[in-house]
Structure 1
Amino acid sequence: MHFSGLAQSYKVVTVPAPGGLEKSLGDDWDKIDSVVVKGTINKADFQTLYNCSRLGKLTVLNLEGATIEGNRIPDYALFYPNITDDYLNIQRIILPDNVTEIGKYAIAVMYLKKINFPSSLKKFSKGSFYGCHWMEVDPLVIPEGITEIPWLCFGHCQSFRKLVLPQSLKIIDGFAFYNTRMDEMNLPEGLDSIGNSAFWSSPLLRRVVIPESAIHLGMGAFAQTDSLRSINIPLGVTEIPDLFLAYSNEIDTIIIPDGVTRIGNSAFQMDYDLSYVR
């Protein structure tokens, strides 16, 4: 995999032991705009990379030849919640083929544009990519083997337009795709649950087909989907939750299955064109 466009100068670094990246980079650590890392790295090395971007010029991070301890990108690897003055200026990340998990808020709140998801990846975590507004991975293809999109995992990621979810997916947790700009997605058969506000404020989404396997729908799951014109309710659903489709002005028809025994408060609030519910 090669760099294009972003990088002007780069350094190849082999880390002799986990935690040794800072020393290996040398005195010009704050002048490097692209780094190729080899060897085994840990959370301390991710902190070094964070500093190279926040305090220096690093924009491209190539970990293709690296091994990450436990094959897991650590929680808060490149994000520090107590530092909120700006987005981190890392714009491209190349992950190694052996990564299996991305930790909590590991790659959050940055100017990230490009990242690869290796087929080895099996687990995301809470807020893994939260606030990566400019992530241009389009379509955004979630690898097979992923069973859950956790809370706020891709919240506020606004630059992809098509979402491709794997057949292995069982749970989309609350706020998982909150405030995104996708206009096309699939919800695979076998999906069990769509959490609270999972797709709230997805204003470009036009059509949603919920699989019959999905029997739990969360509060506000598809609220404020301003362009939505078509959505179904699976036959096994017994309750339509509060605010489920509120503030979705373009929807005009909802077919309610016979098994529904409760329609929650404000489930269709301010859906002005809704004229036929049965």
Structure 2
Amino acid sequence: MKKKFLKLFTSVAMLALVFCLHQNVRAEEIAQPTEKDVYIHHDDGEDYVANRYERAIVVDRVVYQYLPEKDSYRIVAFDDNDEEFPEGITFKPRSEVRGKPVTGIYIDGEEDGPSYLTRLNLVLPDSVKDIEISGASFGSITLPKFLIVTPGVIFESDFEQIIIPEGTTNVSGIHNIWKLRKMELPSSTKRIGKYFLEDSSDLRTVYIPEGVTEIGAEAFSGCPKLEIYIPASVKKIGKNAFKKTDEYGQVKMIYCANNSAAHKYAKKNHLPYTIIDPVKTSYKATDLSLSTKQISMPIGAKKRVLYQVTPVYAAKRNVKFSSSNSKVVSVNAKGMLTAKKNGKATITVQLKSGSKKKVKLKVVVQPRAPYLSADSVENKNTTVFTWNKSEGEEGYELSCSDTKNGTYKVIKKVTGKTKITFKASTKKYYKIRAWYRTAKGKKYYSDYSEAVYHLGHMWF
């Protein structure tokens, strides 16, 4: 009996010990970062640091900062300190980190200097409710569903595309956006708030769907290239909308129905307008154009097809996409290109209705630009140049120039390796690029790497 009791006691004790160990491990796994967990962004190796974040954690190149007062995380940076951040990548950050929700994003390009963001297509998770983005340069940004955007949350930034999801009823808080050429609001939109897209100087077309009833004060002001259709459903337009600002001129053209609120507003404020009949077939798209006819992309990159439908008031404006060689470049229903391997392909964009016009975009896929570094070889008066291997490459060309932005001349041709040592001039700048050759013998090159140069006793 005593032996059975001891055996039972030992078993219970072991189970209790295992449970405690499991709980301790679990507690360690979900422990949140502290002030000692610091992420330093863009450290130049000297005294200057662009930015630092305490209570930070990096997951899949996204830097999350824990906010104890909110018991949640916010996105604060994207880890490119190795300078090998993929070009054209699409990122959808996590909605939860270490058991806590990700509820915000704070990006300050002026403070953080994130030039890498031009290569990023950002898709924010629906858990994000607090947004503050300024001075950034995303390729595109997709906002969370049902987000109520407050004034001044996305501003003074370079975006090629802003995607507001279907289901959003009020849009505001986005202004001073450069490089944005067109904007299509979701059909669920009911109200456009104050200052929306104010001083967005590159904006050319905006399609406002039927059902929008109000446009806020100073919305679309300072948009001198903008041609915009305002449906008859709009009954109220705020003061100084579409007008010139201290920075830029007034809207280029307003299209509206006769005797509509938009017609009366444009006439009263001496804004250019064109009367259209909303029941005629002119609402069908008649023309289609691309922002460029040819682009190049490195392997693995993603990029949206930028196109323009005319007339701007066409309600039937949907297009379809196809690729002549999806093994080289694929394209999805939203016009997102994915470069898969070296080669060429033609992307066809066609109107689904109206004139059904087609336009073609030529795409060349090439190796990714290498990352070049240089180090002096001690006591040998030589320099070793190393670089990362570019996918799809057949060889590399190392070039030099007397000035950083001058003309670079090829000095070394390399195949089969990613390192070379020779006596390099400390007064010149060096760059490298990869290349591959097609079956017909034509060479295609990657972009150049960033230049390396010698300063003091070190290479940079």
Confirm whether residue 63 of structure 1 aligns to residue 62 of structure 2: no
Shift in alpha-carbon separation, 1:116–1:71, aligned structure 2, 3 A: farther
- Residue aligning to 1:235: 232
Q: CA deviation at 1:129?
A: 2.9
3-state SS of 1:157 partner? strand
- Residue aligning to 2:51: 54
Larger radius of gyration: 2
Percentage identity across aligned positions? 15
Q: CA deviation at 1:165?
A: 1.7
3-state SS of 2:177 partner? coil
Question: 2-side partners of 1:53 and 1:253: how far apart?
Answer: 44
Shift in alpha-carbon separation, 1:196–1:257, aligned structure 2, 3 A: farther
- Residue aligning to 2:141: 140
Counterpart of 2:132 (choices 129, 134, 152) is 129
User: Match for 1:169: what amino acid?
Assistant: T
Q: CA deviation at 1:220?
A: 1.1
Q: CA deviation at 1:258?
A: 3.5
Does the 8 Å contact 2:258/2:275 carry over to 1? no
Confirm whether residue 222 of structure 1 aligns to residue 220 of structure 2: yes
- TM-score, length-scaled by structure 2: 0.39
Question: 1-side partners of 2:206 and 2:230: how far apart?
Answer: 10
Confirm whether residue 255 of structure 1 aligns to residue 246 of structure 2: no
Higher relative contact order (CA 8 A, sep 6+): 1
Deviations 1:49-103 (A, max 9, x none): xxx86369x9x972349796778435xx86xxxxxxxxx9976898324376544
- Residue aligning to 2:155: 155
Give the gaps of 5 or more residues in structure 1: 1-13, 34-51, 79-87
Question: 1-side partners of 2:141 and 2:201: how far apart?
Answer: 17
Deviations 1:211-239 (A, max 9, x none): 112111101111111111x2122222222
- Residue aligning to 1:165: 164
Give the gaps of 5 or more residues in structure 2: 1-27, 44-48, 86-90, 277-460
User: Match for 1:111: what amino acid?
Assistant: G
Does the 8 Å contact 2:40/2:52 carry over to 1? yes
Question: 2-side partners of 1:220 and 1:163: how far apart?
Answer: 20
More strand by share: 2
3-state SS of 1:21 partner? coil
Shift in alpha-carbon separation, 1:186–1:267, aligned structure 2, 3 A: farther
Q: CA deviation at 1:21?
A: 3.0
Q: CA deviation at 1:166?
A: 0.8
RMSD: 4.3
3-state SS of 2:132 partner? coil
Deviations 1:161-206 (A, max 9, x none): 1222211211112xx2211111122101011111111111111111
- TM-score, length-scaled by structure 1: 0.60
3-state SS of 1:140 partner? strand
3-state SS of 2:218 partner? coil
- Residue aligning to 1:21: 34
Does the 8 Å contact 1:124/1:150 carry over to 2? no
- Residue aligning to 1:38: none
User: Match for 1:134: what amino acid?
Assistant: A
Deviations 1:124-150 (A, max 9, x none): 33xx2332x2322x222224x233332
3-state SS of 1:107 partner? strand
Question: 2-side partners of 1:121 and 1:163: how far apart?
Answer: 16
User: Match for 1:22: what amino acid?
Assistant: E
- Residue aligning to 1:111: 113
Aligned residues: 217
Shift in alpha-carbon separation, 1:214–1:71, aligned structure 2, 3 A: farther
3-state SS of 2:231 partner? coil
Question: 1-side partners of 2:72 and 2:127: how far apart?
Answer: 10
Shift in alpha-carbon separation, 1:116–1:210, aligned structure 2, 3 A: closer
Does the 8 Å contact 1:194/1:218 carry over to 2? yes
